Amino acid sequence: MALYIARRILWAGVVILVVLMIVFAVFYLLPASDPALRFAGKSPTPESLALIRDRLGLDEPWWKQYGIFVKNFVTGDEYGWPGLGYSFTSNVSVLSEVTERAPRTLFLILGAAIIWLVVGVSIGVLSAVKRQSAADRAAMGFVLIGISSPVFWLGLMALWVFWKKLGWTAGTGYVPLTENPTGFLSHMILPWCVLALLFAAIYARMTRNSLLDTLGEDYIRTARAKGLSERTVIFRHGLRASMAPIITMFGMDIALLVGGAIITESVFNIQGLGWLAIDGTLNQDLPTVVGVVMLGAVAVVVMNLIVDIGYAFLDPRVRYE
Amino acid sequence: MSETLLDVRGLTVAFPTHEGDVLAVSDLSYTLHRGETLGIVGESGSGKSVSSLALMGLLNQERTRISGEAMFGGRNLLSLSPEHMREIRGKDIAMIFQDPFACLHPMYRVGDQIAEAVTAHASVSKSKALDRAVELLDAVGIPKARDRAEGRLPSASCEYATRAAEIGPIDVINMRDNARLSATRARRPPVTTLRAAGAGRVCRRVAWRALQTGRQSIRAYAGSVRNSTKRSSSTISTRMAAASS
């Protein structure tokens, strides 16, 4: 087990290096114009250009630039760890912008993920166990609605109904948890539910299909033949074997959302990482964009690592491969 | 005459489809006494497994129609509630399935899976149940049973393991040509054996002995009984029925 985890971590490290290489190539090497000019924002001065060239090593060969890029990211720069550089548009380090925005996105994802996992998996189990029943049909109807509703429309409708008409929740914006916990919840509950609905629908359908497949397996019949209760058969034997695709999806979904739950953040004006990336793009603030892209890419790698380790706990066969 | 353990009368199993019912077992009757072994022989689709699964209550209730009666200990197995049936399964009647690799859960240790069958029917601690599982593995001749049960060694002989798990007054043993079986056994025709308590040590040749020594066997064909042998003290009544499909 320890060997398996160590190997996975090593691999994740290699993948991160490759990912950084691609990000570096996309933003430093591929564009034809002077990189310093693009990093300097809308109103470059000769001083800032010189500063950027010096800081990023732009006069050095490309592999040295990559070295500086990786070294800054891995060991941190003068603004802290991980080193993401300096935004010449907003005149703060990218890291400080990210640390300000990240909690919003992370709280959004965390809350939504809990809701969609609980709702999606329970609906999936219910409709698999009560297959062809009215409950199953209702659940699959819910799935259809969840998958087909666009998030921006759903978000606006939710705001209109629950904020404007009923006044049950707070409206758009974000209140930090530490300042005002009730305000935080009141602001987050709608974005959580709206973001979770789509995923809950997908997870419900996936859980249902996966569990139905598993329940047709011979070892489920063995479990029944042993005289185990139906609850044990479904939850202990069935659900465990059908969790693998769900865990894979879950890891990927979380990672992709870290890169920006952009639509949800926009509709509810949460101004998290997705907003930061968009804002950076519109203001030609390249360092910020690079920073968010790198974090998003690393999040994918890290979540994959967590999924792989999760697999090993779930399915002992994985450890021996 | 020894005590009657299982009395099956007119067992009929049908699978409803869009194009009408498919009759898998048609009017099957037999009697099994304590100490007897009954072999049901027949080609694929003749209803050997389905008739036994029906007795165990392991067929999907919504997608099968079962009629007839199967008296076991004064109760009709076919009309018992799911909860009562659950108490009998794995305790009084056990089933050993034909593909041992597919029949064990791939994510749990063999020992735990056998122990589960113990704890399902008796209030014993998990460690006691695991000890019992190791005993059972030992009893069917698995070397280094404890290491295998606890997952330190691969459970190579899965078939024995499933067999160890299922020990009760009646064992239903399903055997058939199977790529995983040994070459010698692959030549033999498929057979389902019902082994009553006291019929001897569970061994992989039980079904063959039954046929060769001719203690009692039913030959099944397309859901009906073709003929049956009646020797020693056992009785078997055969009702012929034409397969409707």
Residue B17 CB: number of other CB atoms within 10 A?
A: 9
Q: Which of residues 240-259 of A touch B (CB under 8 A)?
A: 240-241
Q: What pLDDT digit, counting tens, does each position of A58-108 carry?
A: 888 888 889 988 888 888 887 877 878 888 888 888 899 999 999 999 999
- Residue A161: pLDDT band (50, 70, 90) is very high
Higher pLDDT pick, B239 / A174:
A174
State CA A275 to chain mean position distance: 14
From the CA of A305, how many Å to the nearest CA of chain B? Answer: 20
Higher pLDDT pick, B59 / A119:
A119
The reply to whether B104 touches chain A by the CB within 8 Å rule is: yes
Mean pLDDT, to the nearest integer, of A6-28? Answer: 92
Residue B107 has what pLDDT? Answer: 84
- pLDDT one digit per residue (tens) for chain B, 245 residues: 567 888 889 999 999 989 888 888 888 888 888 777 777 777 777 788 888 889 888 888 888 999 999 998 889 999 999 899 988 887 788 777 767 677 788 888 888 888 888 888 888 899 998 888 888 777 766 777 777 777 666 554 455 555 555 444 555 655 443 333 333 333 444 556 565 544 433 333 444 444 444 445 565 555 566 555 543 323 232 222 222 22
Residue B219 has what pLDDT? Answer: 59
Which residues in chain A have their CB less than 8 angstroms from residue B105's CB?
Answer: 219, 222-223, 237, 241
From the CA of A211, how many Å to the nearest CA of chain B? Answer: 14
Residue B202 has what pLDDT? Answer: 37
**Residue A228 pLDDT > 80:** yes
Sheet holding B75-76, edge to edge: B20-33, B4-17, B65-72, B75-76
Q: Which of residues 220-239 of B touch A (CB under 8 A)?
A: none
From the CA of A213, how many Å to the nearest CA of chain B? Answer: 14
The reply to whether B89 touches chain A by the CB within 8 Å rule is: yes
* Interface contact A221-B120, CB threshold 8 A: no
Residue B169 has what pLDDT? Answer: 52
Q: Distance between CA atoms of A18 and A248, rounded to whole angstroms? A: 22
Mean pLDDT, to the nearest integer, of A176-199? Answer: 91
Residue A127 has what pLDDT? Answer: 94
Q: Give every CB contact of residue B218 below 8 A, 6+ residues apart in sequence.
A: B28, B30, B38, B39, B40, B41, B225, B228, B236, B238
Secondary structure element (H or E) that encloses residue A291, with its range: helix A286-314
**Residue A245 pLDDT > 50:** yes
* Interface contact B121-A240, CB threshold 8 A: no
Residue A194 has what pLDDT? Answer: 93
Residue B231 has what pLDDT? Answer: 39
Which residues in chain A have their CB less than 8 angstroms from residue B62's CB?
Answer: 132
The reply to whether B50 touches chain A by the CB within 8 Å rule is: no
Which residues in chain B have their CB less than 8 angstroms from residue A229's CB?
Answer: 86, 120
ipTM value for the complex = 0.74
Residue A60 has what pLDDT? Answer: 86
From B58, B91, B107, residue closest to A221, measured CB to CB: B58
**Residue A307 pLDDT > 70:** yes
A174 and A286 Cβ atoms separated by less than 8 Å = no
**Residue A144 pLDDT > 90:** yes
| Cα–Cα separations (whole angstroms), residue B240 to B2, B191, B220, B226 | 26, 20, 10, 7
Q: Distance between CA atoms of A114 and A208, rounded to whole angstroms? A: 18
- Residue to mutate among A213, A222, A228, with most B CBs inside 10 A, is A222
* Interface contact A225-B90, CB threshold 8 A: yes
Angle formed by the axes of helices A134-148 and A94-129, to 10°?
150
Q: Distance between CA atoms of A271 and A176, rounded to whole angstroms? A: 12
Give the residue from chain A lying closest to B121, CA to CA: A227
Give the residue from chain A lying closest to B88, CA to CA: A227
pLDDT averaged over chain A?
A: 89
Angle formed by the axes of helices B110-119 and B158-165, to 10°?
10
The reply to whether B243 touches chain A by the CB within 8 Å rule is: no
The reply to whether B141 touches chain A by the CB within 8 Å rule is: no
SS (H, E, C) A121-187: HHHHHHHHHCCCCHHHHHHHHHHHHHHHCCHHHHHHHHHHHHHHHCCCCCCCCCCCCCCCHHHHHHH
